[in-house]
């Protein structure tokens, strides 16, 4: 059967099974983009509502954390190494791009290995890597600390703002106001964690979840599997993305995370502090911990006026529900992180569905 024929059959089956309202949440920026790009949302029957959750690592980074690293970037003798998505993310008054224009040394890197190389080439300066991301990227940051320790690179450190996916899912699944019926679990994160950390969704809350791949057919298949669980009265964690995700995940990657990081409370944009939902470097690696090496301001809670990113990250709203979407806020002149990041919901909606998209 061709892909087109398989897609048509899945859509027909989904329509036949969608007898009641069903609210699904995806929690991965790559899924957000894939759904917007392929137009899957528009192909589904109206009683299936697809919402985006906190799956974009840039978007979930709280304003207070952004203000803290913006303050760090202005300290003399320091190089900030960051993934490109962070450059235009606004804090309360500015962003890294403006600070760089004012003379700060801010460099875009494609991996932690690039950041290590900058540290090797600039021994007279301190290099701080901005650690943003979920379980997918955390092992690579752990490896960078291992390399820095092995090479005695005393001018390299990490500002760890990493987040863990299962704790935020628990906050969302237990919130009756959000009314999420099922989850499209993040394929990349699950390739590291495996299925066990997601079992609570079914066991404690009786909701189906399926670990999905990133092709449009993967996502349609996942929606079909979720509907099938509901139709059959089952709640399980199933794997659709079997070509990559194994039940046990990647134990070696988790070993690296556990060796270098310890679990701490973390603040999420629009959600607040979630206990045990972030990571920081273990005390024995404090010489590579930017929090321990430099003076940072205390976190101060601030909001971007008018920006609804917090409610979008909780699946309460879709981007066009924000009054600023496509008007004051566009990818060229973004107001909030959900429009800055290429994986943000607002950017994906705008890019693929247009400024006048009617949710
Ligand atoms: S459209 Fe812009 S202002 Fe509105 S929620 Fe998205 S990022 Fe925030």
pLDDT at 355: 56
The tokens describing 105, both together, are 């040394």
Query: How many domains is the chain built from?
Result: 1
Q: Are 326 and 317 in contact (CB under 8 A)?
A: no
Strand partners of residue 269? none
pLDDT (mean) for 58-70: 93
pLDDT at 300: 79
Between CA 33 and CA 215 the distance in angstroms is: 11
pLDDT at 301: 78
Confidence band (pLDDT; 50, 70, 90) for 299?
Answer: confident
- Return the SS3 of 295: coil
Structure confidence by residue, pLDDT tens digits, 336-355: 999 998 889 999 999 997 65
Asked, for residue 283, whether it belongs to a domain, the answer is yes
Asked, for residue 335, whether it belongs to a domain, the answer is no
Ligand 1 neighbour 319 (Cβ under 6 A): yes
291: exposed, middle or buried (Cβ count in 10 Å: 0-12, 13-18, 19+): middle
Confidence band (pLDDT; 50, 70, 90) for 303?
Answer: confident
Asked, for residue 349, whether it belongs to a domain, the answer is no
Asked, for residue 293, whether it belongs to a domain, the answer is yes
pLDDT at 356: 53
Q: What is the CA radius of gyration of the chain?
A: 21
- If you measure from the C-alpha of residue 92 to the centroid of ligand 1, how many angstroms do you get, rounded to a whole number? 15
Q: Are 20 and 47 in contact (CB under 8 A)?
A: yes
- If you measure from the C-alpha of residue 63 to the centroid of ligand 1, how many angstroms do you get, rounded to a whole number? 14
User: Looking at residue 21, which CATH number applies to its domain?
Assistant: 3.40.50.11740
Element (H, E) at 217: helix 216-231
Ligand 1 neighbour 346 (Cβ under 6 A): yes
Q: Where does 32-179 show beta strands of DSSP type E?
A: 48-52, 78-82, 105-108, 126-131, 156-160
Per-residue pLDDT for 359 more than 80?
A: no
pLDDT (mean) for 8-33: 95
The DSSP letter of residue 284 is: G
Between CA 18 and CA 203 the distance in angstroms is: 24
Closest CA to 135 of 101, 168, 184: 168
Tell the residue number behind the tokens 């006026």, with chain if given: 305
Residues 6+ apart with CB under 8 A from 344: 29, 32, 56, 58, 59, 309, 337, 338
Structure confidence by residue, pLDDT tens digits, 177-221: 999 999 999 999 999 999 999 999 999 999 999 999 999 999 999
Ligand 1 neighbour 59 (Cβ under 6 A): no
Tell the residue number behind the tokens 């960051």, with chain if given: 82
Between CA 175 and CA 261 the distance in angstroms is: 29
Mean pLDDT (the chain) is: 94
pLDDT at 157: 98
Asked, for residue 8, whether it belongs to a domain, the answer is yes
Per-residue pLDDT for 298 more than 90?
A: no
Render the burial of 322-348: b for 16+ CB within 10 Å, e for the rest: bebbbeebbbeebbbbbbbbebbbbbb
Ligand 1 neighbour 336 (Cβ under 6 A): yes
Ligand 1 neighbour 322 (Cβ under 6 A): yes
Tell the residue number behind the tokens 């690579």, with chain if given: 140
Lowest average pLDDT, out of 91-105, 231-245, 298-312, goes to 298-312
Lowest average pLDDT, out of 107-121, 262-276, 290-304, 325-339, goes to 290-304
In which domain, by residue range, is 28 found?
A: 1-319
Asked, for residue 325, whether it belongs to a domain, the answer is no
Q: Are 149 and 288 in contact (CB under 8 A)?
A: yes
pLDDT at 31: 96
Ligand 1 neighbour 338 (Cβ under 6 A): yes
Q: State the distance between the two ends of the chain, measured CA to CA, in whole angstroms.
A: 33
Confidence band (pLDDT; 50, 70, 90) for 297?
Answer: confident
Asked, for residue 354, whether it belongs to a domain, the answer is no
Residues 6+ apart with CB under 8 A from 187: 28, 30, 31, 211, 212, 213, 214, 218, 241, 244, 245
Q: Which atom of ligand 1 is nearest to the CA of 306?
A: 3
Structure confidence by residue, pLDDT tens digits, 239-248: 999 999 999 9
Q: Where does 141-271 show beta strands of DSSP type E?
A: 156-160, 182-186, 209-212, 237-239, 261-268
pLDDT (mean) for 138-153: 97
Between CA 116 and CA 225 the distance in angstroms is: 43
Write down the pTM of the prediction. 0.93
Ligand 1 neighbour 317 (Cβ under 6 A): no
pLDDT at 32: 95
> For residue 35, what are the CA distances in angstroms to 4, 94, 348?
16, 31, 9
Asked, for residue 336, whether it belongs to a domain, the answer is no
pLDDT (mean) for 282-298: 94
């Amino acid at each position: 059967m061709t892909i087109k024929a398989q897609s048509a059959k899945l859509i027909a089956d989904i329509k036949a099974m969608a007898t009641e309202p069903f609210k699904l949440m995806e929690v991965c920026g790559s899924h957000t983009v894939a759904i917007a790009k392929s137009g899957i949302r528009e192909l589904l029957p109206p009683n299936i509502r697809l919402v985006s959750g906190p799956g974009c690592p840039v978007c979930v980074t709280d304003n207070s954390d952004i203000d803290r690293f913006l303050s760090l970037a202005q300290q003399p003798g320091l190089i900030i190494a960051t993934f490109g998505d962070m450059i235009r993310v606004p804090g309360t008054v500015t962003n890294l791009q403006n600070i760089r224009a004012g003379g700060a040394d801010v460099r875009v890197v494609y991996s932690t290995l690039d950041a290590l190389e900058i540290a090797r080439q600039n021994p007279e300066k301190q290099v701080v890597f901005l650690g943003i991301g979920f379980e997918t990227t955390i092992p690579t940051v752990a490896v960078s600390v291992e390399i820095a320790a092995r090479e005695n690179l005393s001018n390299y450190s990490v500002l760890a703002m990493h987040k863990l996916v299962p704790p935020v899912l628990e906050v969302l699944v237990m919130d009756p106001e959000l009314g999420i019926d099922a989850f499209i679990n993040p394929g990349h994160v699950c390739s590291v964690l495996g299925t066990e950390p997601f079992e609570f969704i079914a066991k404690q809350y009786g909701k189906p979840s399926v670990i999905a791949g990133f092709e449009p057919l993967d996502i349609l298949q996942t929606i079909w599997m979720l509907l099938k669980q509901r139709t059959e009265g089952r709640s399980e964690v199933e794997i659709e993305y079997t070509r990559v995700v194994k039940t046990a995940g990647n134990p070696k990657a988790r070993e690296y995370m556990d060796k270098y990081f310890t679990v701490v409370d973390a603040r999420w944009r629009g959600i607040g502090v979630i206990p045990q939902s972030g990571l920081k470097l273990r005390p024995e690696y404090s010489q590579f911990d930017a929090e321990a090496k430099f003076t940072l301001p205390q976190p101060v809670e601030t909001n971007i006026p008018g920006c609804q990113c917090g409610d979008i990250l909780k699946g309460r709203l879709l981007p066009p529900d924000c009054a600023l979407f496509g008007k004051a806020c566009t990818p060229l002149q973004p107001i909030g992180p959900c429009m800055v990041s290429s994986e943000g919901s607002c950017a994906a909606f705008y890019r693929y569905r247009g400024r006048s998209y009617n949710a």
